[in-house]
Structure 1
């Protein structure tokens, strides 16, 4: 009898231990080399591999969000109903080793009856040389009025040889490292906000990444590029700058869609595969002179790497039957003529269709729909 009881207890212990079988041990997050972690998260759980971020449990189901009166083109809240919070999510060293404190602004409806809202993380423009989180706060507040929680972040800026007046003064090593650092910072921000889900009223399983220009490059690289991809572009980058995700065992999150504007670039559209393709909204001019609509060089600088724009990226999504909305203007220039209200309305309507399992591939020229295909 005692022998049977011993065997039973041993089995129960084994079962308990194996609830995390197949996952690495739980550890504290790894800080950026030369910096210090400021997430303030004491209990860190493992997260899936970056290529499989679709396993996290969603708190609010897609159907609940789809049929809610919130989150669409109508404003559910007034400006006075919103609350804003600020804080620091990370400290790291910049391109010349200076310590940088990275902060955020968070906005959402105050006294909200929905305790875990879909969340949009916004990454600003500026050629990885200038700009700030305030550039995205107009769109963030419009989304908050629709019922979302949203935040805009600062990330590390600058690279040797580059300046606001001359973005083409660097070299490929410098610009690849600049993108890598921005991706690292965005990863940390995602873990940070997922870790504060209860405090801030966020659903970590319903996160969207929104980026403008350089921000669009950043969120695209985060979703579609691995450390191996960066190593292929610049051997030794991981040893120099550390893990692409500095907190590989940080609080889990799930990215549902990419929402880009003011151009789009990916080093290679072939990074987008059937396994990792994400629903995406694009806004770009066909004559974009900073980020090529089809194919060109990074920041349109003659000696930088080749990149691809919204057109080939959307064609990859078309191939894999993934929802997208391509908004293009047949004009020259980088800056678009869409208002922030129009852009956020398109974002919101896109997410409503996604949550309603009503997947479309839409192409809009200026404000006119020229193609609308229901994915079957």
Structure 2
């Protein structure tokens, strides 16, 4: 009887630990590692790797995040992104913050910049993002990464690069075969948009978490011109934001969670710390355990 009771208590202990991992802070942090994932145009592109300390799990999910800044600024060491990475690592994820080529640094990315140039900007940033993902997956043994559990995310410009890479890969890359050694488990977008939601199909309809203000004045919440340029301006290019993307995912019976902020502008590209508990719960349920959920929250 005592042996049976011991086994039962052990089961409850292990089960409780398994349930809290990925949703609760159960680890301390290992020292942050910085690696160079590519060198382009004479610039070393770096990433920072955050890991849980004293973690024995052999195949761990990874979150790779791309900062915003209009392709002209921003940094992987922005405090909000760093705090998000630390929060993820404390829950048992390998979390990565990446730098990428800021091709519009000191230049406009508004209505005076031609649409063709904007498209090229998206393509270059998407390429950098995918190269960073490739680098980490190639190091999967070193960092004990499960290449079938790759979660990717971004804020503003970073979200645009990530969303286009995941859902508009045929518009972004001439050779998608370079990026077939891993699977995206989910997408996390903060005020992001892509070129054309019609390219989302059953094969690439990855589940996603989306935060967006309904009156975003830079990146459209629904379908609208980037920066609200008019048709006569060089920078006129239509983009599909969170609302349009999730409508397509819903049509394809794919899981998603959409937080819509009534009247909100581009400030919702910031990390939603007030809602991270819900975000990590969704990551765990849908991205890691493949539950089916379609959630829409209005604020």
TM-score range, shorter chain: 0.7 to 0.9
In structure 2, how many angstroms separate the alpha carbons of the residues matched to 1:67 and 1:141?
20
Q: Do the aligned partners of 2:84 and 2:271 also contact (CA within 8 Å) in 1?
A: no
Determine the structure 1 residue equivalent to 2:207: 279
Q: Do the aligned partners of 1:161 and 1:169 also contact (CA within 8 Å) in 2?
A: no
Distance 1:179 1:363, change over 3 A: same
- CA-CA distance at 1:219 after TM superposition: 1.0
What is the TM-score when the length of structure 2 is the normalising length? 0.85
Determine the structure 2 residue equivalent to 1:75: 25
Residue 351 of structure 1 pairs with residue 283 of structure 2: yes
Q: Do the aligned partners of 1:142 and 1:344 also contact (CA within 8 Å) in 2?
A: no
Shift >6 Å, 4+ stretches: none
Residue 196 of structure 1 pairs with residue 132 of structure 2: no
Residue 128 of structure 1 pairs with residue 61 of structure 2: no
Q: For residues 87-166 of structure 1, what are the structure 2 equivalents within 5 Å? A: 87-93=35-41, 99-135=42-78, 136-159=81-104, 162-163=107-108
Determine the structure 1 residue equivalent to 2:297: 364
- CA-CA distance at 1:222 after TM superposition: 0.8
Structure 1: runs of 5+ lacking an equivalent = 1-63, 94-98, 231-237, 367-376
Distance 1:170 1:223, change over 3 A: same
In structure 2, how many angstroms separate the alpha carbons of the residues matched to 1:337 and 1:160?
19
Residue of 235, 238, 243 corresponding to 1:311: 243
Deviations 1:324-359 (A, max 9, x none): 000011023200297643343233111222134431
Partner secondary structure for residue 82 of structure 1? coil
Residue 269 of structure 1 pairs with residue 201 of structure 2: no
Greater radius of gyration (CA): 1
Determine the structure 1 residue equivalent to 2:12: none
In structure 1, how many angstroms separate the alpha carbons of the residues matched to 2:271 and 2:39?
34
Q: Do the aligned partners of 1:160 and 1:170 also contact (CA within 8 Å) in 2?
A: no
In structure 2, how many angstroms separate the alpha carbons of the residues matched to 1:270 and 1:254?
21
Structure 2: runs of 5+ lacking an equivalent = 1-14
Distance 1:122 1:339, change over 3 A: closer
- CA-CA distance at 1:161 after TM superposition: 8.2
Residue 260 of structure 1 pairs with residue 203 of structure 2: no
Q: Do the aligned partners of 2:70 and 2:104 also contact (CA within 8 Å) in 1?
A: no
In structure 1, how many angstroms separate the alpha carbons of the residues matched to 2:227 and 2:83?
25
Root-mean-square deviation (CA), in Å? 2.4
Determine the structure 1 residue equivalent to 2:125: 182
